[in-house]
Structure 1
Amino acid sequence: MNVSVVLAVVSLFAFGVGSFVWQIVGAKQVYAPSYMIVEGIVFAFVGVLLHFVERKSFNLSYESIRYAVLAGLLAGIAVYALILAFSMGGAGSVIFPVSRLGMIISVALAIIVFNEPITSTKVLGLGLGISSIIVLSS
């Protein structure tokens, strides 16, 4: 298994547990914007800490800053929508699979923007992933 796949698995667990925390705070009727501010501060702290650990200075092009702003805006909308869905009584067994259908958008954009090859194995894997999400959400 190559390093990028190992890192993807680390991300899988981190996003999985982090998403479950959103369900907890939604179920506890935590005010989502306040929660998001604290989560954002911790996220920024991790970024600053990584700069110190890796001994790198802050350096982003204007284009990269625009991508970061767009991604932050979209992540904020996504987190707010999920917490709100959970605070309204949404079941994690339905909300998580539906929200994870976003992988279809990510894969399609990767194919279009980066000209990633479409192989039968990738199509099969994506199809199985989508099928599992549909089955879990029904």
Structure 2
Amino acid sequence: MNISVTLAVISLIFMGLSSFMNKVAVSNDLYFPPLLMIINVCYIVMALIIHMNQKQPFVITPRMLGIGSLVGLFGSIGYVCMFYALNNGGMGSVVFPIVGLSLIVSVILSIAIYQEPLTVGRIVGLSLGLGSIILLSR
């Protein structure tokens, strides 16, 4: 297994744990705004650790500011909607598979914008993934 796939699998595990902890937070009646702030402090700490280890100059360019703002905006809206779906009685076994469809958006945009190849294997894989998510959300 190459390093990209290994890191993707590690990401899958930790993102899954992160999503599950949202359900734990809802089950414990935690108020969302301070929870979101704590989560973002963890992101900041991780960014600082990575920055200190890479020993590169800390520079924020206009392009970085724009892209980072869009990532933050889109991610925040998605995260808040997921949290409120759980908070309004959504079962994790339904909400998480639906949110998991976000990978379809990423793949379609990568193919459309970066001309990544769309092979038969990828079409089959996406179809199977989509099918499994639909079945899990019922």
Same fold (TM over 0.5): yes
Tell me the residue number matched to 2:47: 47
The alpha carbon displacement at 1:60 in A equals 3.6
Q: CA RMSD in A?
A: 1.1
CA contact (8 A) 1:26 1:87 kept: yes
Please give the residue correspondences for 1:49-128 in structure 2 after superposition, counting only pairs within 5 Å. 49-128=49-128
Tell me the residue number matched to 1:20: 20
Q: Does residue 34 in structure 1 map to residue 27 in structure 2?
A: no
Name the amino acid aligned to 1:12. L
Q: Supply the distance in 2 between the matched residues of 1:120 and 1:24 (Cα, whole angstroms).
A: 39
Q: Give the number of equivalent residue pairs.
A: 138
In structure 1, runs of 5+ residues without a counterpart are none
CA contact (8 A) 1:25 1:83 kept: no
| Larger RCO (alpha carbons 8 Å, 6+ apart) | 1
Q: Supply the distance in 1 between the matched residues of 2:123 and 2:2 (Cα, whole angstroms).
A: 21
Percent sequence identity is 33
SS in 2 for 1:68: helix
In structure 2, runs of 5+ residues without a counterpart are none
CA contact (8 A) 1:94 1:136 kept: yes
Q: Supply the distance in 2 between the matched residues of 1:32 and 1:74 (Cα, whole angstroms).
A: 17
Q: Supply the distance in 1 between the matched residues of 2:94 and 2:88 (Cα, whole angstroms).
A: 13
Q: TM-score, normalised by structure 1?
A: 0.95
